[in-house]
Each structure stands twice: as C-alpha cells, then as structure tokens.
Amino acid sequence: MITNKTKGFKIIDKQRTAGNLFTQGLGLMFRPKTDYCLVFPLKREVRLSLTMLFVFFPIDVLFLDSDKQVVDIKKGFKPFALNYTPRKPARYILEFPAGLLKETSEGDEIAIG
C-alpha cells in the first residue's frame, strides 16, 4: 500500500517492486494497463530519465528523495513519450495508474508498504 503520510490518505492498495536491473529496465513496457504502483528503489539519489516507449497507457510518476519526500511529480505521462527527467535527484520512483496523484504535492511524505 502507498500512503500520503502528510495529508493522511491512501493513494493505492497494490504495489510491486522493480528490484533488479532487468525489471527496472523493463518497467511497465509491453504490459496491459495496471491496477498497482510499480516501485523502483534506487541505490542512491539520481536524476534518472524515464521513457514511455512501448508503454500503452498514461501513468503518473512520483520521485522521492531518501526521506521519501516528493521532489517531483509527472502527471499524465503519455504513452510513447521519449523521456522525462526529474528536476531533482530521487532515491525512489513510483509509477501509478494515471489520475491517482491529484491530491499529492511536492514536499509530501510518502509511505511505501
């Protein structure tokens, strides 16, 4: 479960972790539309660019620092968009079905799991 601790609400019930290089590289490519959040735990804070090549549905993305505070949000990331690079380095990247981040803002603290 992913929760917005700052504002006190659940964002989504289900989550999966992309815990290795292969699953992180593949991400949501070639998958049907999801009903879960895909969590990318990174080894350190980096400005990692994302691509939507071969992702067939829009998503919302949270970029969190080491304290799990939102440092950037990309809402409505469109299918086949070439890339998006967050404004600040992130330690966690969370990919959600589009439309779930309407009430989440930069600076909010997020609970994973």
Residue 69 carries which DSSP code? Answer: B
Residue 36 carries which DSSP code? Answer: S
pLDDT of residue 101 exceeding 90, the answer is yes
Confidence of residue 109 (pLDDT cuts 50, 70, 90): very high
**CA 50 vs CA 29, 40, 94: distances in Å:** 11, 11, 11
Q: What gap in Å lies between CA 80 and CA 61, rounded to an integer?
A: 15
Tens of pLDDT along 38-95? 999 999 999 999 999 999 999 999 999 999 999 999 999 999 999 999 999 999 999 9
Put simply, whether the predicted model's pTM sits higher than 0.85 gets the answer yes
Domain range for 58 = 2-112
Q: What gap in Å lies between CA 103 and CA 81, rounded to an integer?
A: 24
pLDDT of residue 26 exceeding 80, the answer is no
- Both tokens of residue 48? 């990692």
- Which phi-psi region, left, alpha or beta, contains residue 99 (left: φ > 0; alpha: ψ -120 to 50)? left
With beta carbons less than 8 A apart as the criterion, state whether 94 and 64 touch. yes
Counted domains in the chain: 1
Cα 3–Cα 31–Cα 88 angle in degrees, nearest 5:
50
Q: Could you tell me the CATH number of the domain that includes residue 17?
A: 2.60.120.1140
